[in-house]
Structure 1
Amino acid sequence: MSNPSKTSTSTWWTQSSQIDSSLVLGPYRFSLAWVIMMAMVMRTPLHELEAARGGRFRDYHDWEIAEHYGDPRQEYEVVRGDVGILDLCHAGKLRVADRDRVRYLNNMLSNDIKNLSAGRGCYATLLTHQGRMESDLYVYAFTEELWLECLPASKPRLFETLSRYIVGDKVTVADWTEKLGILSLQGPHSRVAIERLTGLSLESLDLLEHRTLQRPSGNWVVVHRDRTGCGGYDLWAPVLEAPEIWRRCVETAQISPVGHAALNWLRTEAGIPWYGTDMGEKTLPMEAGLSHALSMTKGCYRGQEIVARVLHRGHLDRGIGAVSVQHADPPAAGAEIRANGNRIGEVSSSIFSQRLGKPLALAILRVEFLKPGTPVEVVYGDRNYPGEVIALPIQ
């Protein structure tokens, strides 16, 4: 796709008759493909504030998000040693309400929603009837509603599937992605920072539990949510309040902004898979290590028969693991992993690990090769480089 280029015409808005159709705005010519792309890309309400802080942006599932703010290594270290703030307003957010909301979601999702009391949350998956993943998600229970959060990669399908299968139940599913913002404080000092911001005492708040702060302009909700392996809390708030909350954190409290690059490094070292990257529509949840997203006691749910059959058999053919590589650069997604000359899996995502000082890949491997210490080879083009299966999270 081409960027805007100068043209001699002074027409305000004309369409070129050339085969590579373009639009002309004043002295600039734009390719139609570029215009369509830019019209489809969404920005969070913090985009201008992030740009003013030196934000460098990237496209991420139809969103333009901050990749880093000039020094991703420093952002990584800030989260490991102190506290940083992430703009996660692009995360998928759904509200499920009305009389049958609990029963409906309990029948659709893989974890136990029926016994989820107000103020608590759980991790779950939405599966196909064949037991494959449509989405992973977090569910937060309130007195009159349930909030769902997922990555942008799976939000369209999650919303579509949950909306489509409402037949006799009294349930409403609303897309609140652009109504609510999420600012995430991550790092060992995140609780102190979020308590100062909200005035709440959160010492007793367990993981995925949440606390509501009543406010005239719209309630804030604090969720104990570790996205990095370093501890953390999310603040959900009306999207129009996100810029002021950002200013209070970054400008007043001097909390460093952290971009997507550092988040990706940290979650990889913590062994946290992402949908659309490490797992997708062909993945069984057990292959991605998501047994904590499955209830073995609640009874039937969509895809449960396949899950039960695999678990009853007691054996998976493949599973997620981590491989460190003796190379200067991370391997490409999809790169083959071999042992004894045979293909045993492939890379799903990779980084250069700051803690290991070498590339680290998450990979789907044959289960007999998942034991830490197992020697493997990773394919780079026409050459193989030595690697080793390691345990995550990195300590």
Structure 2
Amino acid sequence: MIEDIDSRLLDQLGARVSDAQGYLRIDERRAELAELDRKTAEPGFWDDVSRAQQLSKRAGALRDALAEYDRAVELLELAQTALELADEDEAFATEAREAAGALSELIDELELSSWFTGRFDEGDALVTVNPGQGGMEANDWTAMLVNMYVRYAAEKGWKVTVLDEQPAEAMGLDRATLQIEGRNAYGMLTSEAGVHRLVRISPTDEKERRHTTFAGVEVLPVLPDDIEVDLNPADVRVDVYRSSGPGGQCVNTTDSAVRLTHIPTGLVVTCQNQKSQLQNKDAAFRVLKARLYELEEAKRADELAELRGERKEVSFGSQIRNYVMYPYQLVKDLRSGVETGNVEAVLGGQLDEFVVGYHKWRVAQ
């Protein structure tokens, strides 16, 4: 909450709103939305369902962005009007402070969204978590990270679909892939790509010794249908098998799980959490397409992984973030320097400080 309100503060906020009109390309977005609305009103628009859904989703994202900017303009006008009336009634000063505080928070969010200018930043993400060094501990750590991202997505109002989740024999997970849908989901979650290190007293160690374990997080974009990827179906071996682990009706009683092997590259993708073999196959091809696109981009850019970041061994010395639960409580991002002692809150999904902190660091580089 802003405690002191005056015309200088509102002038500063007004300048930030004016800047937002430029970096958010408000006029361009209004024109694009008008054109999309014209297309959606055309006869036969829904004849091509896939294209129609894609355009409708884009129109929805534009409306949300424009609504946020319009709300910022509205709050600025409200604060300015209330401040003018504050000399006559102290209640208006309170109203001006509240409007200015809400505007400041909203402008912070608009500035954050302006950092996501990559081709797929505004779209959905595929997040895969795999255990690294640490044995059973790494499997448990993988499950903890998956839970953290599911809760973070819920905090952001994003939709999560579990595409693949393979339970480990003793505890935790052997792997998991989530599709996370929401505005700027891919751009935001690129902060998580890399190796995550956990230090704690092992719950399975009778001598209560400290253990260090690792898990790797991969973040890829969900590619739009108009993105061309060199994927010949003849190069893909499709295997079906019975799903393992928890599932809904029929999931574990039929050969609904799908494994794709891309023969030229050796890439393997599995999906088993959808209700039918067809749904699992579609989801698996979506992940495979994203991974092949990443490989193509890496070759063109002459680097290991442009979308996912530098690949490192999932072990000590390669981590991007440490989660220490013993002998002290600390989560620290080794890139941005952001840290907190509230490990439980972070693992419970309160990740914004680290996600935003990483992108502030990235933009400053």
TM-score normalized with structure 2 length: 0.24
Higher helix share goes to which structure? 2
